A and B are shown apart, each in its own frame.
Chain A
Amino acid sequence: MDVGILSYGLYVPRRRLQRNSIYQTNRWYAPGLGGLAKGEKAISNWDEDPVTMAVEAGRYCMDGIDRGLVESISLASTTLPFADRSNAGIVKEALNLSDNVMSADCTGSLRAGTSSLMHALQNSAMALCLAADRRKSKVASTEEMNYGDASAAVLAGSGEVIAKYLGGYSKSIDFVDHYRETGADFDYAWEARFVRDEGYQKILGSAIGAALEKLGISAAAVDHAVISVPVRGVPQKLAAVAGIAPEAVADSHMATVGDTGVSHPMLMLAMTLQNAKPGEKVLLASFGQGADVMVFETTQHLPAVNQRQAHFIQPGLPDTNYSRYLFHRGLLDIDKGMRAELDEKQPGTSLARDRKTVLGLIGGKCSESGIVQFPKTDLPVNTLSRATGTFEDYPLADRVAKVLSYTADRLAYSPDPPSYYGMIDFNGGGRMVAEFADIEEGEAEVGREMRMVFRIKAFDTLRGFRKYFWKAIPVQRGES
C-alpha cells in the first residue's frame, strides 16, 4: 500500500495587516524598511496562538475523514504556549481524537514541521502533522515586516494517498543564521547576505541536489518546487542551480501571508497541492540548522481533496490598525482599565472534570428525550422522568449555529473591543451563550450563521496560564 499524504489543511487568519501601515508609523525611525512596505501579512487575533491555529488547520485537514482512525498527532512550532504541558495534547482534545493517540510537540527549529512529517512518512501509521507559529518581532524590524501567522496540517498515512511519498533527504548542521533563546521574545538574526550565501545556497541548495540524486529523480521532472525560503529570488536561484524549471517554483506567499515560520513549508505545500494535478512530482524543501527535502507524486485522489479544501480558503480582510496589532502581541501597554483586573485562575480540578466539555465542546444528547444540551448535566433540561445519566456525548464544534440574540458590548473588557457575544442555536439542537470572534461591524445579526472556533478565552497573567474555549465566528460566503 502506498504511503504518503492523505489530506492537508491550512489556516490563514482573516486579518491582513498592510505592511505600509507599519512603515508609515515607523518610517521616522527606520526609513530603510520602505522597500518591504508592500503587500500584506496575515495576523492572528489576540485570542489565537499556535495551539488554536493548529486546531483550525487540523479540522480542515480532517474534514470528511474519520478522526477515530488517527494514530498520532504532532504539533511543530517554535512558539508553543506551554513549555511543560503537551501542546499537541490540547489540540488532540479540541479535535476530539481518541485518548489512545500518540502525541508529540516538535520544536527547536524552523524545520520542525517537515522533520515531524518525514518521521511520520517513515512508517505507515495515520499521523496528523500540524505546524503553527506566532512569532513576535521587534517594532521597526525587518522581521516585523515579514513575519505572518498561519498554520498548516498534513495527514500522513497509507492507503488512498493524494500524494505518494517517493522519499526524503535530511541534513543537520548547526548553522546559526538566527536564534531565539528559550523564554526570549525576539529572534536575533545575522546578516542576510551571509545567510543567503552560506545557508540557503550551500546547505539547502546542496540538499536539494543530493535528494534528487538519492531518489533517482531528474530535476526536470519536478513539476512543483516548494522551496520554503522567505527571501525574494532565492528559491528561483536554488531551483536554477538544481536544474528545476523556473515555472515549477512555488509562490512563497510572502506578499499576502508573510513568513509563517515553522508553518511555512507545509503552508506552501498545501497551497501547491491545491493547484496541482494528478501525476505531478512535488519537491518540498525546508531550511533550519540543516535541511529537509521530500519528494511526492500526486495521485488521482488529489482532486477530491482539493475540492473539499477549496472552500476553507477564506478571503483576507485588509487591516491598517497597527497599534491593535502591537497590543495583541504584548508590544503596546494599552490601559486596560479596572474591568480587566478579574482574576482568571483556572482550577486544575475543574478542567480535569470538564475536559471534554471545555476543550472538545462536547454536549449531551438525552437518550430518553432526544434533547441536545450544552453543557451536560446530571438532570437534563425539561426532564420529566427525573432519570440521571441519560446524556450521551454529542460533539457540537462542527455544527453550524444561528444567532438568536447578540450585542456589541463596549463596557466589558475585551482586547478587541467591542466584545460581541450572544445566544446561538446549533443546527440539530443545543444552544449556548457564546463569545463572537473575528467579527466586524455590521456582521452580527439575528439569524446569522456562525461556526465554532477554538480560541483563548482568557489569560491568567498572575500564574502564567491561558484558558481555552470555543467561540463563534460568522460563516463567510462559500463556507458552511
Chain B
Amino acid sequence: MTSGIKDKVAILGMGCARFGERWDTDADGLMVEAFEEAIADAGIEVAQLEAAWLGVGFDAQSTGPSGIPAAVALRLPDIGVTKVENYCASGTESLRGAVYAVASGAADIALAIGVEKLKDTGYGGLPTRTRGSRWDMIGVTGSAPGNFAQLASAYGAKHGIGPSDLKRAMAHVSVKSHANGAKNPKAHLRNLIDIDKALNAPLIAEPLGLFDCCGVSDGAACAIVTTPEIARALGKTDIVAIKAMQVVSSNGWEMQSDQWDGSYLHTTRVAATKAYKEAGITDPRNQLSLTEVHDCFSITELITMEDLFISQEGQGWKDVLDGLFDADGKVPCQIDGGLKCFGHPIGASGLRMVYENYLQLLGRAGERQRQDSPTFCLSHNLGGMPSQNVSSVSIIGPLGV
C-alpha cells in the first residue's frame, strides 16, 4: 500500500507572471517573470536547483520542443529539464515531476515551470491542430467550447434541468469569477459583469455564450519545491506542503463503451477519490477551504463541483445559485478569478492555481485573502474533451495538518 505524497514535499517559493495579451513579450520573457519572483520567494541561489520540469501545451506555438527553452531562458545550471505535455494538466504535470523528484530523494530542490504563449496565433480560442493520423480521419475537428458544451446538454437532460435554469446557474459561475478577478492585479480580465450581460452574450457553442468561456491569454507560473526539512533549514516557518497529487487519464471507457452518459467527468471523480484518500480528507464539502478548478467553461466548473463530491449529483447548479462557491461562500471557488479571468495559457494554468492557494495559505492574497485560516486548498485541471480527457487533482495545505 502506497504511503502517498502527503507532507513529504514543501513549496519553497512560487511565482506568477501577469497574465494577459502580452504583446510585449514571448514565452521566454513570461518564464523569466514568473521565475524571478519564485527564486526570490524561495530565498535560494539558482545554482541550488537540481532538476526542472517544463509544462507546455502547444509547444509549436509557444516554446518549441524539449525542455531546453526553459534551460536557456532561465540560464539553469546544467541540470536536466524535462518538458511535459498532458493537455490542460501540463502545468500540474510539471509540478508533479518536481514533487516526485524531491520525494524520491533524487533531488533536494527542484523547479516546476509552466508557460504558454497563445496570443501569437492570430485568433481567439485555442489553436486548431491535428491529433494523429487515425483520429484525423474519423474525429471531429471541433473546438474546446464545442466539446465542453456537450456536457450541458447531457447534464440538463439527465437531471431534468430546464435550459434557462442551467443557463442562469452557468452565468452565476462567470459573474462570481469576474467579481474575484477584478481584485487580482495579475488577472487578464478585471472587469465586473452582471448576470444579464452573461445571459445575453453571443453564443459560442450552444448553450455556451461568450461569458461562459474562459479567456485566452499568455502567462507563466512556477514553483520551487524541496523537503520540509530543507525548507526549515532555509529558515521557512509557515511551511506549505503537498497533500495530494493525482492524475487520471481516460482509457477510452467514456468514448468507446456505452456506459458513460456524457453528464460528468469520470476521470475527475476517480482523481478526487484518490486525492482525498492521499490527503486524509473524508468530507470534502466541510474540509476543503478553497478550490481552484478547471473552469475552462462555466458548465465545467459547475459539474466539477459534483465530481469533486462537494455538491450532490444533480444539485451543483443549485449550490452555485445559492452562492456556496462565491468568495464569501462556504467553499470559495476561483477566488483569484480562475481561468475565466486569467485566461488559460495551457502550460501555466495548473501552477497558477497552486500559486493562489499558496498565497492564501500564507496570508499573502491581499484584497482577496480569506480570513478563516485556510487549510486544505484544492486545484483541479481537466484536459482534452469530456469524452476523453486527463484530469488532475492536487491538494496543498499547512505542513502537519
Chain A interface residues (CB < 8 Å from chain B)? 337-339, 341-344, 346-347, 349-351, 354, 357-358, 371, 373-375, 377, 381-382, 404-413, 418-419, 421-423, 425, 429-435, 446-447, 457-458, 467, 469
Contacts and interface: CB of A to CB of B under 8 A. Distances in A.
A350 B130 CA distance: 14
A404 B123 CA distance: 31
B154 A404 contact: yes
A347 to B, nearest CB: 5
B150 A405 contact: yes
A265 to B, nearest CB: 35
Interface stretch (B1-9, B139-147, B286-294, B338-346): B139-147
Contact of B149 (A342, A357, A407): A407
A407 B154 CA distance: 10
Q: Is the interface of B mostly helix, strand, loop or mixed?
A: loop
Nearest to A357: B138
B150 A343 contact: no
Interface in B56-87: none
Interface residues of B, number: 46
Contacts of B387: 423, 433
Contact of B157 (A341, A410, A421, A446): A446
B122 A338 contact: yes
A353 to B, nearest CB: 8
Contact of B121 (A338, A344, A411): A338
A337 B122 CA distance: 10
Interface stretch (B14-22, B44-52, B200-208, B236-244): B200-208
Chain B CB within 10 Å — which of A381, A425, A467 has the most? A381
B262 A343 contact: no
Contact of A405 (B125, B129, B153): B153
Interface string B215-248: 0000000000000000000000000000000000
30 contacts: A341-B128, A342-B128, A342-B129, A346-B136, A354-B134, A354-B138, A357-B137, A373-B256, A373-B257, A375-B138, A377-B252, A381-B252, A381-B257, A382-B257, A405-B262, A406-B153, A407-B146, A407-B147, A407-B150, A407-B153, A408-B206, A410-B203, A410-B204, A410-B205, A410-B206, A411-B205, A412-B141, A412-B142, A423-B262, A430-B258
Contacts of A467: 137
Contacts of A405: 150-151, 153-154, 262-263, 386
Contacts, number: 134
A290 B124 CA distance: 57
A433 B255 CA distance: 8
A404 B264 CA distance: 12
Contacts of B165: none
B256 A381 contact: yes
A409 B255 contact: no
Given A382-B257, A412-B146, A433-B255, 17 more contacts: A339-B128, A341-B128, A342-B128, A343-B130, A344-B136, A354-B134, A371-B257, A374-B256, A375-B138, A377-B256, A409-B204, A409-B206, A418-B206, A431-B258, A434-B140, A446-B154, A457-B137
Contact of B204 (A344, A371, A411): A411
Chain B CB within 10 Å — which of A374, A405, A418, A429 has the most? A405
Nearest to B154: A405
A375 B134 contact: yes
Nearest to A371: B257
Nearest to A361: B138
Chain B CB within 10 Å — which of A341, A349, A350, A425 has the most? A350
B142 A409 contact: yes
B272 to A, nearest CB: 22
B258 A429 contact: yes
Interface in B141-177: 141-143, 145-147, 149-151, 153-154, 156-157
A414 B127 CA distance: 15
A77 B49 CA distance: 69
Given A408-B206, A423-B150, A446-B154, A382 B134 contact: no
A433 B121 contact: no
B328 interface: no
B137 A351 contact: yes
A425 B130 CA distance: 25
Interface in B84-137: 121-125, 128-130, 133-134, 136-137
B261 interface: yes
Contacts of A374: 256
B140 A433 contact: yes
